[in-house]
Structure 1
Amino acid sequence: MKVPYNYLPMQFKDTKNIFNEWKKLIKSTDFTLGKYVSMFEKKFSNSIEMKYCISTNNGTDALILSLKSIGIKKGDEVITVTNTFYATVGAILAVGATPVFVDCDDRFQIDHNKIENVISKKTKVILPVHWGGSSPNMKKIINIAKRYNIKVVEDACMGIGASINNKSPGTFGICNAFSMHPLKTLNVMGDGGMVVTNNSKLARWMLKYRNHGMIDRNNIEFWGINMRLQPLQAIVAMNELKTIKSIVAKRNLNASLLDKALAKLHPLIVLPERPKGNVESFALYMCLAEDRNELLKFLNQKNIEAKIHYPKPLHLQKASSIFRYKKGDFPVSEFQADRIITLPVHQYLSKRQIEFIISQIFYFYKKKSKKIRIF
């Protein structure tokens, strides 16, 4: 049996609706921004109950646009977590600011209890990441930001479809970034991203900046760059947005099956806490595994496409040597990086495939003569 991590061939098996709209777009030749992009922006902002959505050509640009819109620049510090994708820190550096890392908690999220320890006079933003489609304690983070009069910008790139007490990730900060990378819960046939905000002044600025700062084709108000979402991708996004609730529901069902079974393997497998009131998007299903590297190799040999997100936290990357962090500075992230494994959980997996994942993990540990209680 094969259990794929990549579900795109299944997702885009039927492209009739998308191609029909593409034909209309081609006939109109409205290839730069235009009605399809505007329609998507309105639909997405409505879906998460935010006033404004500014689409971009990817999630990284959405992060950059968010930071630039609130004036983050050289000399400023932005607090974020060290166990995240490169784009989070890349965006901070792209606007000239300095990232300041914080360790994560046992749910793979930024540890809000450690944020105040690194706040300085240069701190302008806390940039929490909704890592894997789960969420940090946004209430505590917002309270810290208010206490120190600093802003919050969320990296909600994996958070589409999730909720925190019925409130979407990416709706807590002053402006917040999302991604539609092909393997996100809301995805397109390439790249796409968006920023959401309730601030009309920021929204107007971002709409212009992502289009060269143009007022119209003959005038610019200020110097911007091209961060535009392609109308082709806006059409794909609108088509996929229709099914986001069912996508997340199926991922949660698959995750609950994994949770129920794998909990019996504790402490060989350690699952993160699932806070009451939170719904995860399960962009990633992550847990900690003893003998992780051996387990990964075994699962891959069984045609189960497990992954690692990621084997090295950002502060230990070669590119981070300029920040002068060292091994041991963030022990929780480092501990997790040696043990974390990501299992397939997407909406196209059958119950039989999920049960196959479970059975093979149990078999792996039984074969290693571990003392476990077989379900």
Structure 2
Amino acid sequence: MIPLVDIKTEYEQLKNELNRAILDVLESSYFILGPEGEKLEKEISQYIGVSHALGVANGTDALLLCLEALNIGSGDEVITTPFTFFATAEVIARVGATPVFVDIDPKTYNMNPELIESVITEKTKAIIVVHLFGQSVDMDAIMTISNKYNLRVIEDACQSIGASYRGKKVGSFGDFGCFSFFPSKNLGAYGDGGMIVTNNSDLFSKLKLLRNHGSSERYVHTDIGLNSRLDEIQAAILRVKFKRLDEWNNRRKELAENYSLELADTVKVPVEAEDREHVYHQYCIETSQREKLAQFLEQKEIATGIYYPIPLHLQQAFIHLGYKNDHFPVSEGCAKRILALPINPMMTQKQQDYIIAAIKEFFGD
């Protein structure tokens, strides 16, 4: 089976270096809030081009902590997209605020900025933008709106580390940028992990408190926080992999370009918008025959993925918000047609050629 993500081959290639890094942590007996995490934070902050970075337990906590640091809660509204992983809106509800959805751009699958102003109210406090599948949102448009209405901006860049907009890395535009190190990400740990980046020193200090039980001094708690710390073993693993991130992202882009070149006449292929550098966390095609194609490819031992079969406004957890079918037609249409093909830096040209040939065979090309 050709996998969507080939973590096993990745480990085999880095085995000696990864094992050494893990053993070094074990031998140090320093497992929480230690030097590996601090070094990773410094490396990531420099890479993104921001003043501060903070390791946390996962990407979901990263988003949650940002909302809490901004004191967003009951009675507040936060605008976001219905076409993303559940966590993006889940954290809004978790702090007691209300998610307010706007539809997506059919080309990039990202939030359509032209629709945002129509849903802003006096209760609106922030926008959570999602850089989906590895491509940046139109951040000029987002920041213009946020400045006009004095709204906070949280960038959910959990799928897009290394992506850029007009030469500037995602995560560096808003009040916060949030990253996930889930094992399948472009930069993945061997377990859960996440990071928050910011240029705001006051908000950074608040985050440090909140991720560690609201405490900056042992047994002294000034805030109600979380236990959300990136452990030293995961930080050490990520530091080994981080050195290869740009190389791996470039390989993803090569594979994506070849897919698009070969499949553009057969299915709808992804669009890389102007002035953006896409890092292809997922390579998603669109076809009205998605289920049949997925079954055909499975028979050929080719893995595929569906992102996302139920848009957030139609999830049972958000029924009380009152959204209905056809409320966000672009998101709902994409949910029925999108199919992710295998794309990862470990993929061989032989594997990709086999996938392309199988898709062409299905469509009779």
Normalising to structure 2: TM-score of the pair? 0.97
Give per-residue Cα distances to partners, 1:198-241, cap 9 Å, x unaligned.
00001111111101122222322323221111111000111111
**1:93-145 deviation per Cα after TM superposition (whole angstroms, max 9, x unaligned):** 11111100111111211111111111111000011101111122111011011
Per the alignment, residue 272 of structure 1 pairs with 270
Instruction: Measure, in 1, the Cα distance between the counterparts of 2:214 and 2:273.
Output: 43
Equivalent residue, structure 1, for 2:11: 12
Mapped to 2, the partners of 1:111 and 1:37 lie a distance apart of 36
CA displacement, residues 149-179 of structure 1 (integer Å, 9 cap, x when unaligned): 1111110001102111221111111112110
**Equivalent in the alignment of 1:221:** 222
Secondary structure in 2 matching 1:78? strand
Match of 2:263? 262
Partner in structure 1 of residue 188 of structure 2: 187
Q: Which amino acid aligns with 1:288?
A: E
1:348 is aligned to 2:349:
no
Amino acid paired to 2:217: D
Q: Does the CA contact (< 8 Å) of 2:83 and 2:312 recur in 1?
A: yes
Aligned partner of residue 338 in structure 1, secondary structure: helix
2:48–2:172 contact (8 Å) kept in structure 1: yes
Residue by residue, what CA displacement relative to the aligned partner does 1:319-344 show, whole Å, maximum 9, x if unpaired?
A: 11111111010001111111111001
**Residues in 1 aligned to 2:67 and 2:161: alpha-carbon distance in whole angstroms:** 20
Q: Report SS of the residue matched to 1:153.
A: strand
1:108 aligns with 2:109: yes
2:95 and 2:352 mapped to 1: Cα distance? 43
In structure 1, runs of 5+ residues without a counterpart are: 367-373
Quote the Cα distance in structure 2 between the aligned partners of 1:27 and 1:290: 54
Which portions of structure 1, spanning 4 or more consecutive aligned residues, are displaced by more than 4 angstroms? none
Deviation at 1:18, TM superposition (A): 2.3
Q: Is the 8 A contact 2:21 2:237 kept in 1?
A: no
Task: State how far apart, in whole Å, the 1-side matches of 2:101 and 2:216 are.
Answer: 38
Distance 1:169 1:328 in 2: 31
Q: Following TM superposition, by how much is the alpha carbon of 1:83 offset from its aligned partner in structure 2, in angstroms?
A: 0.5
1:31-50 alignment to 2 at 5 Å?
A: 31-50=31-50
Q: Distance in 2 between matches of 1:27 and 1:273?
A: 48
Q: Which residue of 2 aligns with 1:157?
A: 158
Counterpart Cα distance in 1 of 2:236 and 2:25: 9
Q: C-alpha separation between the residues in 2 aligned to 1:186 and 1:132?
A: 13
* 1:206 equivalenced with 2:204 (yes/no): no
Report which stretch shifted further, 291-300 or 10-19.
10-19
> Match for 1:200: what amino acid?
S
Distance, in Å, in 1 between the alignment partners of 2:87 and 2:252 is 25
Deviation string, structure 1 residues 356-375 (Cα, Å, up to 9, x no partner): 11111111111xxxxxxx5x
Identity across matched positions, percent: 37
Q: Which residue of 1 aligns with 2:308?
A: 310
1:68 aligned onto 2:68: yes
SS of the aligned residue for 1:176 comes to strand
Superposed CA RMSD in Å reads: 1.1
Distance 2:287 2:248 in 1: 27
Query: Residues 165-184 of structure 1 correspond to what in structure 2 (within 5 A)?
Result: 165-184=166-185
- Structure 2: 5+ residue stretches without partners: none
TM-score by length of 1: 0.94
